[in-house]
Every structure is written in C-alpha cells, then in structure tokens.
Chains A and B, each alone.
Chain A
Amino acid sequence: MRVITMREAIREAMIEEMKRDERVFLMGEEVAQYDGAYKVSKGMLKMFGPKRVIDTPISELGFAAIGIGAALNGLRPIVEFMTWNFALLAADQIINTAAKMLYMSGGQFNVPIVFRGPNGFAGQLSATHSQSFESMYGHVPGLKVVSPSNPYDAKGLLKSAIRDDDPVLFMEAEILYNDKGEVPEEEYLIPIGKAKIVREGNDVTIVSFNKTMKIVLEASDELTKEGISPEVIDLRTIRPMDYETVIESIKKTNRLVIVTENWPLANVGDELTYVVQKEAFDYLDAPVRCVTTADTPAPYSPSLLQIWFPSVKKVINAAKEVLYLL
C-alpha cells in the first residue's frame, strides 16, 4: 500500500472534502500564502483560491467566532489553530458558543465546524507551547474531540469530522506530521467514537492516543521481547469515548495501563478508569495505572523535559507493576 506522511494525510482529507463540498473552506493563521505554519495546507491556496483558503490575522477569538457564524449560516468551516495552546484565546467561542448553540436554540441551529491543529508537547518549547487539551474539551457536552496517532486514522477521521453536523475538535501533533504510514488511494472514512485494537495480546491492556501511542508501541515491543503479551488500544476519539472496546479487552487481560500526555488531575485516563472500575470491577486483577506528564508546567531544559513526559521506561514499569512483576 502507498505510504504517506501524517501531514499529507491531513491535507488529503481537507482537499478531498473541499472538492466534494463547496461549503467547506479553510481559515487560520498562515494557512494560505505561507502554506501553513507546519505546511499542512501546502498548495491549497493555489488549488482553491483565496475565497476558500483564507489567511487570518492573529485573532483566535475573532476568527473562531467568524467560523462559527459561517457554520450557523450554511457553510462548513475548517478552522486551523497554529497550535491548541493559542486556541485558549478562542475557548469562549468553542465552549460557550459552538458547544451550546444547538441546545440553547432548542435544536434550531447546529454548528458543523472543525477546529484543528497540533496539540501538546513538540520539543523544547517550554510551558505555554506544550499543553494538551483533550481532557479539558472532552469535558464539554456538545463537542466531539478526536486525537489521532497515525496517517491512516488522521485522514479517515478528519473526513468524518468535516462531514459531521456537530462541532469537532481535531487534535494533531507537530512531531507526528513527518511520521509515515500506509494510506490507501481509495476513499475511506473512519467513524468518530471508535477505538482501535492496534495489537492483540492477553496479559495487559495498554490504552493511549495521539503521540503517546508511539511510546506505547515501543514499550509493547520491549514487553513482547520479555515474553509479556500486551493488548494495545488506540482510543482515537476522546469524546465520545469508546469504553466498550477497552472493557472487552480487560475481560481478557484483567489489567489496564493508560498512557496520556495529560496532566494527572482529571485527565482522560481518570475518566476511563472510573468507568472500568464500575463496569468491569470483577475482571480487574490489579489497580489501574495512569502514566501521565508530571504535575507541573512543561520545562524547557532537556534534563527536566525528559522526566516530565511519559517514557517507554515508565510504561514498561507500569505494565510490569500491574502484572506484579516489579
């Protein structure tokens, strides 16, 4: 099968959907003339012209609101945030407007919009540029939150997000954009809200999403070498969350480790843990473990950053602990 980068996969999804539907357009900082801050939208201005690929000023709150207004009035915007850190300035529009319009209007006005951009840590960018927001936005009814880890999922999920009639927050990662993966030439869609079993195994279930999936897969290779058989699940969507797939897996492995790039308090893993203990209490043979970032802002120095972020070693240790091997 054809191999392309995550960057290309995301671009392909946008191009295909813009060709398919006149109402879809892309707006954001540097998306047009500069080809995208991370070159995701490279060539799209040439392809679609300035009516549909629009450079905005640095006004996250304002252009998020304009996107929402356009969505209310018959269009289907894709709004790119240079990173989700900057989308904090637009949080009012995302949480107070996009998420609530349909409800407050008694079903009259839906907001078919996609907010997308890279999320979380991306090298030594320090505290304000290294945050991930799946748990914060996942908290909010009215939103859907997608956080893919590879080119295949990114393309199929983004196409679904653009066609979705509800607001979808699509969280990418700078350090995954160059990652390559198999993506078929033919069109396909991946439904929002379905996790994927990436590796089948029997001993311990390891759940993750987005860039920490890479750490999990590396850890899983190591564990396999040591004769341990992990089952790896990529959550892919945070809201709605696919508890079913995780619970079915636990019925087989009886052990769960969750790995996220969230801070520890109220992170995505906590919520999953709650549902698992409630629905599968009798199947658990060990306490659930969450491997997260440290409970601090992201540091700049490499010596600190290394211990701030989830590591292969931490994942291996957590897996061994729930297996009572450590």
Chain B
Amino acid sequence: MYEGNVTIPEAPIKGEYSKEQYWEWLEIMLRIRRFEERAQIMYMQQKIRGFLHLYIGQEAVAAGTVSASRHSDPVIAGYREHGIALARGMSSRVAMAELFGKITGCSKGKGGSMHFFDKENNLYGGFAIVGAQIGVGAGLAFAEKYKGTDNACLTFFGDGAINQGILLETLNMSKLWMLPVLFIVENNQYAMGTAVWRASALYPQGGLYKIAEPFGIPAKQVNGMIVEEVHEAISEALEFIRGGGGPYFLEILTYRYRGHSMSDPGKYRTREELEEYKKRDPIERVKKTMLLKGFATEEDFKALEQKIKEEIDDAVQFAEESPFPPPEELYTDVYVQQDYPFLED
C-alpha cells in the first residue's frame, strides 16, 4: 500500500546522449527554475496577481518531453504550464509579460499564469478547469490524423485530473479511433492538499497508469526526476504512436517543491518528505552526470547561470516596461467576427 512515500522506480538509462543534448536539457531546466523563482519574487512584490502555480521540481518532465518530440507535435497542458511553454520555445520575456498582465504577453495579458498559449510553438494552452484539456488534446490528435500527418499530441495533466470523467471518455474514444495522442500524467503526488493515494483507488494497485490498461492502451510509470528516463519513455511512446499504434499513456512520477499555488503553506506534507525529493533534484543530477562525463566544468555552469540570470533580468525589465492592454482590448478576441454588436448600457 502506498502511503505518502511513493517509490519511484529507477530504470537503467539505455541511451548514450551527446554533450549538446545534456547542455540543452540543463539550459531548459535551469531557465524554468530561475524563471519560476523570479516569478515567485514578483508575486510577493505584487507585480503578479491571481493564481500562480510553479513548476519547480518538475523541470525534467518538460525538458525530456521536448527533446523527445517534434516541434510540430501539438502540446496541451493544465495551469502548471510555464515549464512546458518555456521548454517549447516561448521566450522568458513573453512569458513574464503575460504574468504581469501586459499586452506583450503570450496571450496579450488576457490569460495570465494559467493560460499560456503559443501558436508558433504549437502550445494550445494553458487550461484551468482540471482535466478539460484531456479531451481537447485528443481532438488536436484527431485533426492530425484527419489531415494525414504523423504528428502526435502531447497531452499533459496532473494526478488530480485522473479522477475526472473526461479522462475515461477520452481514453475510450482515443483507442476506438486510434488517435495519435500521448497522455502524460505528471504525478507530483498531490492535488492541492490531497495526496494522490487519498484520491485514487488505483494507486494501491500499482499506479495511476493502470487506468489506461483496460482500454488496451499501453501504459507505463516513469521516473520524472531523471531527464534521460523521461526522454526515453517519451521517445518510445511517440515511436509507437507514429507507427499507427494509437494512444499511449505515461505516468511520470515527479514532485513539486513549492506549494500548490502561492497561498499554500503545505501543511499536508512533512519537511522530511520534501527534503527527500530535493536530494533527487533533476538539475543537480544532470550537472553531476555532465561533470562525470567531462561535458562541463563548474565554470561552465557558472557561465550558464549568469546567462540565464541576465535573460530573466531582461524578461522582468521587458515586462515592467511593457504597457498594460489599452481599454479597447477588452472587446477584442471575444469573437473572430470584427463587427460583433456587444451590449453596452
């Protein structure tokens, strides 16, 4: 029985990865971490308001997914999506400006933290209704199949979303219609304050991924603190999907270091548990590997830190200096129709 302490399987790493690949992973993960840390500070300074859900701790999931997929594969996620957006190629500037509610943000300041959208990078959101993106992701996949591409849709959701009915409906239809969709549950062990084993009866059966098996959808658990493992699992899944195998399901075990959102003191977990996960930090692990393999020196890491710090400084300055949307923006983007007759008293 799983209670609190989740065992994260550690598979031997199969592939050999190049120096460039390690540098790409490290840069993406470090960018996400430093971006999120700065966002937290900006929140405390009240530059950012509303809900802010940080990705810190989960960086390897975004980095390993992006390296294993194509830019033309559509991506869709929940509201903890900053990491995926940055990994996909959204600039820190545009992301920070969105958090500030500025017109230069990825969604013109109309979406905020929970609604990052980026057409250029095939990112379809940014969904704040838990689980809603699961069916929409299958629809994105439906369109890829209809158009005859071999793209696959990467559909991210949290362990909390496992319990939404839309998941069962979507698993069923995606298998019936053999849709090219990769379901990725980022199991960070908690949905707000509810530990996963308190919310899912599947958990004691071995894991959340069990939900896909009755539908005949191949499903696996992956250690999300190890970027190589994420990369390998996603690559394998995508190869299966692109080969016409239909949907695939991955449960990626990970952990969020910060609270659910900025207002969460985290009383539902112990300090020891948090420290335990921090010992498996995905960024520290990659750095260690890179040193071991002779791909980098401590000096190189410092230089990367400096580069990213400058980038985030610049992003904050850009966000600060950008204007808020002017009043007329209130009525744009409600309809494509340009002369829609809005009611005003």
Interface residues of A (CB under 8 A from B): 25, 51, 54, 56-57, 59, 61-75, 92-93, 96-97, 101-110, 112, 141-142, 144, 164-166, 193, 240, 275, 278
Contact = CB atoms under 8 A, between A and B. Distances in A.
A78 to B, nearest CB: 14
A70 B137 contact: no
A105 B110 CA distance: 7
A68 B136 CA distance: 6
B139 A104 contact: no
B74 interface: yes
A71 B177 CA distance: 17
Given A107-B332, A107-B333, A70 B135 contact: no
Contacts of B316: none
Interface in B120-176: 124-127, 129, 132, 134-144, 146-147, 153, 165-166, 169-170, 172-173, 176
A166 B135 CA distance: 20
B223 interface: no
Contacts of A74: 143, 147
Interface string B299-340: 000000000000000000000000000000000111111001
Contacts of A73: 74, 124, 139-140, 142-144
Contacts of B76: 69
Contacts of A97: 127, 129, 132, 136
Interface string B166-192: 100110110011000000000000000
B271 interface: no
A106 B336 contact: no
A51 B127 CA distance: 29
Contact of A108 (B117, B137, B337, B343): B117
Residue with the greatest number of chain A CB neighbours at <10 A, chosen from B76, B115, B166, B172: B166
Contact of B333 (A62, A103, A112): A103
Contacts of A278: 345
A62 B144 contact: no
Given A110-B336, A165-B337, A70 B146 contact: yes
B138 A166 contact: no
Nearest to B137: A69
A92 B343 CA distance: 24
B259 interface: no
26 contacts: A57-B169, A57-B172, A59-B172, A62-B169, A63-B135, A65-B134, A65-B138, A66-B135, A66-B138, A67-B139, A69-B137, A69-B153, A70-B142, A73-B142, A73-B143, A96-B132, A97-B132, A104-B107, A105-B107, A105-B119, A106-B111, A106-B333, A109-B124, A141-B342, A142-B335, A240-B340
B333 A57 contact: no
Given A66-B173, A73-B144, 17 more contacts: A54-B177, A61-B135, A65-B135, A65-B166, A67-B139, A69-B139, A69-B141, A69-B153, A70-B142, A73-B142, A75-B146, A102-B335, A104-B107, A105-B107, A108-B117, A240-B341, A278-B345
B108 interface: yes
A151 B140 CA distance: 34
Q: 4 closest Cβ contacts across the A-B interface?
A: A69-B139, A65-B135, A62-B169, A106-B108
B109 interface: yes
A319 to B, nearest CB: 28
Contacts of B110: 103-106
Given A62-B170, A69-B143, A73-B139, A104 B341 contact: no
B212 to A, nearest CB: 15
A193 B339 CA distance: 11
Interface residues of B, number: 52
Contact of B138 (A57, A69, A96, A106): A69
Contacts of B343: 275
B69 to A, nearest CB: 16
Interface of B: 74, 76, 105-111, 115, 117-119, 124-127, 129, 132, 134-144, 146-147, 153, 165-166, 169-170, 172-173, 176-177, 332-337, 340-343, 345
B111 A105 contact: yes
B66 to A, nearest CB: 19
A70 B139 contact: yes
A79 to B, nearest CB: 10
A71 B139 contact: yes
Contacts of A57: 169, 172-173, 176
A4 to B, nearest CB: 30
Given A63-B173, A72-B136, A104-B125, A25 B340 contact: no
A66 B107 contact: no
Contacts of A25: 146
B317 to A, nearest CB: 21
A273 to B, nearest CB: 14
A96 B166 CA distance: 14
Nearest to A193: B341
Contacts of A64: 135
B332 A66 contact: no
B169 to A, nearest CB: 3
B135 A93 contact: yes
A109 B345 CA distance: 29
B336 to A, nearest CB: 4
Contacts of B125: 101, 104-105, 109
Contacts of B334: 102-103, 141-142
Contacts of A193: 341
B106 A106 contact: yes
B327 to A, nearest CB: 15
A324 to B, nearest CB: 31
Contacts of A71: 139
